[in-house]
Amino acid sequence: MKKKAAFLFPGQGSQAVGMGLDLYQEYDFVREIFDMVDDITKTHISSLCFKGPMEELTLTVNLQPAMTAVNLACLAALEKEGAQPDLAAGHSLGEYCALRAAGVINLEDTCKLVFQRGHLMHRESTKHKGAMHAILGLNIDDVRKIVEAAQEKGVVAVANHNTAEQIVITGAPDAVESASEEATTRGARAIPLRVSGAWHSELIRGAEKDFGAFLDEIPFDEPKRPVLFNVTAAPESDPDGIREIMARQLCSPVRWFDSMCRMQEEEVEVFAEVGPKKVLTGLLRKIIPDTHEHEVYNVDGMKGLEAFLKAVS
């Protein structure tokens, strides 16, 4: 019997100079994906992926289409070999590639959406200075209480619930710093993240209406397979419901921990991180216990693709 498989798509923070190059050199259809992204963005995104510099690649307006191009290239290589997931999920930005993997949106619209998303998020980040810190060593209830108390200093919220005790907070720099200081007094570690805005917070609320209007212009189909959404940690089959969830995703917490626990409940046995680096693999190892029989693969280029296909064939 075929093992139940999930494709997981990384987001911002998984970028690396050189990402996607081996697939670009190997496949015509991957070159077409990068050419399309360059055309949509009117920027040499492919060159930034392959050669950098990292500072320019990491700018939100460039990074969102760049990460998406590489994720889509990895997905296209899998699909060419007949590999399809039973479930899909993506971390924040990666959720758009999960929608593509589920047949909700087409390739071109995936790229258009993330380019618009990056542009609007960048616009809001220039209006409102923001910060994000990873809090390690406290559970979600403790972090929520700390965040609530720090809100007298300004906007601060939970951005990502990544594992049981790895939680990212987001908001105005002073409020985030105050929450981090309180977390450290309770024995946690607080690590500032290199980001240009307070993603998943009220400080980018100004992007939501414009992005919602853009979403309304894009055709959405019913998913061919379930996507577990960041906002709800649950599937949604209605295209209009999916649109509404994706508009809310900008300012809502990423419920990654809950989504991965749901996949365990759904008896997923094979997890493939489809895209660069191993951020989601690292999180998965902290969430799924050894008692749950499962395998984890990284499809980040030709080597990872071949290893995955060999293992599941």
Q: Tens digit of pLDDT for each residue in 261-312?
A: 999 999 999 999 999 999 999 999 999 999 999 999 999 999 999 999 998 8
Identify the residue whose tokens are 């499962």: 294
Is 96 within 8 Å of 105 (Cβ atoms)? yes
What's CA 162's distance to the chain center, in Å?
A: 11
Instruction: Report the distance separating Cα 301 and Cα 159, nearest Å.
Output: 29
pLDDT of residue 1 exceeding 60 = no
What confidence category does residue 79 fall into, taking pLDDT thresholds of 50, 70 and 90? very high
Domain edge (last residue) among 146, 176, 194: 194
Report the amino acid identity of residue 32.
E
pLDDT of residue 110 exceeding 70 = yes
Token pair for 15: 């970028």
Classify the phi-psi angles of 237: left when phi > 0, otherwise alpha if psi is within -120 to 50, otherwise beta. Answer: alpha
Report the pLDDT value the prediction gives residue 274, as an integer from 0 to 100. 98
Q: Within this chain, do residues 72 and 144 fall inside the same structural domain, yes or no?
A: no
Which domain range does residue 152 map to? 131-194
Q: Tens digit of pLDDT for each residue in 165-180?
A: 999 999 999 999 999 9
What confidence category does residue 2 fall into, taking pLDDT thresholds of 50, 70 and 90? confident
Q: Within this chain, do residues 46 and 79 fall inside the same structural domain, yes or no?
A: yes
Domain tally for the chain? 2
Q: Within this chain, do residues 139 and 49 fall inside the same structural domain, yes or no?
A: no
Report the pLDDT value the prediction gives residue 190, as an integer from 0 to 100. 98
Q: Tens digit of pLDDT for each residue in 216-245?
A: 999 999 999 999 999 999 999 999 999 999
Q: Within this chain, do residues 24 and 94 fall inside the same structural domain, yes or no?
A: yes
Angle formed by the axes of helices 107-127 and 60-80, to 10°?
160
In a 10 Å sphere around its CB, with 0-12 CB exposed, 13-18 middle and 19+ buried, how is residue 25 labelled? exposed
Domain edge (last residue) among 159, 194, 229: 194
Beta strands 295-299 and 270-274, pairing class: parallel
Percent with pLDDT over 90 in the chain? 98
Q: Tens digit of pLDDT for each residue in 47-69?
A: 999 999 999 999 999 999 999 99
Percent with pLDDT over 70 in the chain? 100
Q: Within this chain, do residues 241 and 304 fall inside the same structural domain, yes or no?
A: yes
CATH of the domain at 92: 3.40.366.10
Q: Within this chain, do residues 19 and 112 fall inside the same structural domain, yes or no?
A: yes
User: pTM for this structure?
Assistant: 0.98
What confidence category does residue 95 fall into, taking pLDDT thresholds of 50, 70 and 90? very high
Q: Within this chain, do residues 57 and 122 fall inside the same structural domain, yes or no?
A: yes
Q: Within this chain, do residues 180 and 252 fall inside the same structural domain, yes or no?
A: no
Name the DSSP letter for residue 101: H
pLDDT of residue 158 exceeding 90 = yes
Report the pLDDT value the prediction gives residue 81, as an integer from 0 to 100. 96
Q: Within this chain, do residues 207 and 175 fall inside the same structural domain, yes or no?
A: no
Q: Name the β-bridge partners of 167.
A: 135, 161
- 3-class DSSP state of 88: strand
Q: Within this chain, do residues 268 and 254 fall inside the same structural domain, yes or no?
A: yes
Q: Within this chain, do residues 102 and 175 fall inside the same structural domain, yes or no?
A: no
What confidence category does residue 105 fall into, taking pLDDT thresholds of 50, 70 and 90? very high
- The arithmetic mean of pLDDT across residues 81-98, rounded, is 97
Report the amino acid identity of residue 277.
K
| Mean residue pLDDT across the chain | 97
Report the pLDDT value the prediction gives residue 313, as an integer from 0 to 100. 82
Indicate which residues carry an active-site annotation.
Answer: 92, 200
CATH of the domain at 135: 3.30.70.250
Q: Within this chain, do residues 106 and 149 fall inside the same structural domain, yes or no?
A: no
